[in-house]
Structure 1
């Protein structure tokens, strides 16, 4: 039986943290317990995710409040830094070095012996599928290659705590799978991972545990299913392209879960559906299509972006 979660067994404890820049509040009275495993910080751009990650990693000091890691107060405790790995959102690589030199140099700064640093660098380059570019100058790396090198640097010294700001930025589909698997393996081995994203499905791919942040405040916390419950009644706007839009509209309006239907005169066969019960609507959609006797060519959610979701949650 798993022990109940409480502040006493949290890896990281954040207590009443606020951060101000002059008159601007970036974080407002944030309290959070973070446990071993993977926690996703989810929110629109400008929500305060990066500020929170910078405070967790020690890059920023909170205006008020405290952060403790592994039971130790972060303030005035530089020994904790050796146990922390960070991949910030902004790209700041040593462009004149090659990938191998960059990783070795960072490990040497961590106090690693050259022979050990070189071995570890080769392991990471192979793991990130960058071995072919190991001797290529970083300035010639693509955006995706640079992101994988930054991720490699963040885990090179085998940190116990890993903070990743938008880790999937610039990655293609294959690299996203690679990085997702890597982060999952690190967590399974005991690393506490906190990462941010403004894209819901990115968070879902990595963890069941997430925190919703909006305007510097924590709005909700839970597993994916609990958060989904919060979004169940989020008014969803769907654009459909069908073979007979009038027949489809007639069928849709028979549903208790459809608020209204609008035709899109600029797009042939297109109509927009508004529903406040998206899960129930999707369950019912096959029957509605069958009733209308139409073929569907396209179905796209128009307002699933995080900004619209958060506007719904906080108003």
Structure 2
């Protein structure tokens, strides 16, 4: 892991008698990380701590190796796209982003050029001179992203940035986030839509009940959940023969033919890497025809379900 750009060390934060975060520690380097967790898990508290809107009650938060709370230096190098809308409705999109640019020290002709560049980046160049009060949800979301990136920040925090966007808009926003990460920026994006997160990044940070349950690559995390067997579904021309062959392997826990589909075998293994490595030779030596092959466990939804269910 490269030098961390965001770091939390044994951080706790209370809201009255309610614990928002409880003894949380992690480090995030440059790149794109998805923050996952159900409502009430502590995501908003975490983002407010990282962006300097809150101070931890215990522990230490570092953004760009400095404490972010009430720190203008950190604020000037960080972009934040909040989930909620908070606009000057009477302004146009261009005027609003120009105002935010000025607050970040970008003024004059340089500001005009930069605002135009950003409007093109977020797909608002042809609509930014209309009043924000008449914008659709998707247009408002694009303007929020524009103000977050106007000063080309080193850290970009995005809270549910895909809300309100159509499929084209979601794809464009994902590409924008990925381009930032590719330039050595740290991008932390909060989302609750798991299938969309899988299109954004394979690096996740899972939070639940104020604690971090897991951090890292989705597939590495799944491999570490030893309590839950890895499920694989395989469709073949001779399912009973292949199932009998597989059940004899030491790395296979079970292999059964699905009674609803005579060609489908459902397999369980605690050693998926060994299984995937051995399967080609078993299929070739037995002369089996594999028509379809996939794992319902090899996705973010199953990883999240297992983590939360065990917590």
Q: TM-score, normalised by structure 2?
A: 0.73
Match of residue 229, structure 2, among 235, 242, 256: 235
| Residue number in structure 1 paired with 2:307 | 310
| Residue number in structure 1 paired with 2:291 | 296
| Residue number in structure 2 paired with 1:85 | 79
> Does structure 1 retain, via aligned residues, the 8 Å contact 2:13–2:56?
yes
User: 2:59 aligns to what SS in structure 1?
Assistant: strand
221-230 vs 103-112, which deviates more?
Answer: 221-230
| Residue number in structure 2 paired with 1:29 | 23
> Does structure 1 retain, via aligned residues, the 8 Å contact 2:9–2:60?
yes
- Please say if 1:254 is aligned against 2:253: no
> Does structure 1 retain, via aligned residues, the 8 Å contact 2:92–2:128?
yes
- CA displacement at 1:197 relative to structure 2: 5.4
Map 1:64-83 onto structure 2 (within 5 A).
Answer: 64-70=58-64, 72-78=66-72, 80-83=74-77
Gap change, CA 1:192 and 1:243, over 3 Å in 2 = same
> Does structure 1 retain, via aligned residues, the 8 Å contact 2:54–2:69?
no
- CA displacement at 1:38 relative to structure 2: 2.7
User: 1:50 aligns to what SS in structure 2?
Assistant: helix
Find the aligned partners of 1:33 and 1:155 in 2 and give their Cα distance. Answer: 23
| Residue number in structure 2 paired with 1:100 | 94
> Does structure 2 retain, via aligned residues, the 8 Å contact 1:40–1:203?
no
Find the aligned partners of 1:303 and 1:34 in 2 and give their Cα distance. Answer: 24
- CA displacement at 1:90 relative to structure 2: 4.5
- CA displacement at 1:281 relative to structure 2: 2.0
> Does structure 2 retain, via aligned residues, the 8 Å contact 1:261–1:271?
yes
How many residues were matched structurally? 302
> Does structure 2 retain, via aligned residues, the 8 Å contact 1:100–1:135?
yes
Gap change, CA 1:136 and 1:231, over 3 Å in 2 = farther
98-107 vs 216-225, which deviates more?
Answer: 216-225
Find the aligned partners of 1:104 and 1:130 in 2 and give their Cα distance. Answer: 14
For each residue in 1:85-107, what CA deviation from the matched residue of structure 2 results, as whole angstroms up to 9, or x when unmatched? 11234465667765434422432
| Residue number in structure 2 paired with 1:281 | 275
Match of residue 38, structure 2, among 18, 39, 45: 45
> Does structure 1 retain, via aligned residues, the 8 Å contact 2:52–2:70?
no
Q: What stretches of structure 1 of length at least 5 have no aligned partner?
A: none
- CA displacement at 1:207 relative to structure 2: 7.7
Gap change, CA 1:33 and 1:283, over 3 Å in 2 = closer
- CA displacement at 1:288 relative to structure 2: 4.2
Gap change, CA 1:175 and 1:257, over 3 Å in 2 = farther
For each residue in 1:39-72, what CA deviation from the matched residue of structure 2 results, as whole angstroms up to 9, or x when unmatched? 6255443443332122101233334334344554
> Does structure 2 retain, via aligned residues, the 8 Å contact 1:57–1:86?
yes
Q: What stretches of structure 2 of length at least 5 have no aligned partner?
A: none
For each residue in 1:1-33, what CA deviation from the matched residue of structure 2 results, as whole angstroms up to 9, or x when unmatched? xxx97xxx7544433321233443231112344
- CA displacement at 1:112 relative to structure 2: 3.8
- CA displacement at 1:123 relative to structure 2: 0.3
Match of residue 178, structure 1, among 175, 179, 203: 175
- Please say if 1:154 is aligned against 2:148: yes
Find the aligned partners of 1:275 and 1:201 in 2 and give their Cα distance. Answer: 28
- CA displacement at 1:183 relative to structure 2: 1.5
Find the aligned partners of 2:305 and 2:287 in 1 and give their Cα distance. Answer: 31
Find the aligned partners of 2:227 and 2:196 in 1 and give their Cα distance. Answer: 18
> Does structure 2 retain, via aligned residues, the 8 Å contact 1:18–1:63?
yes
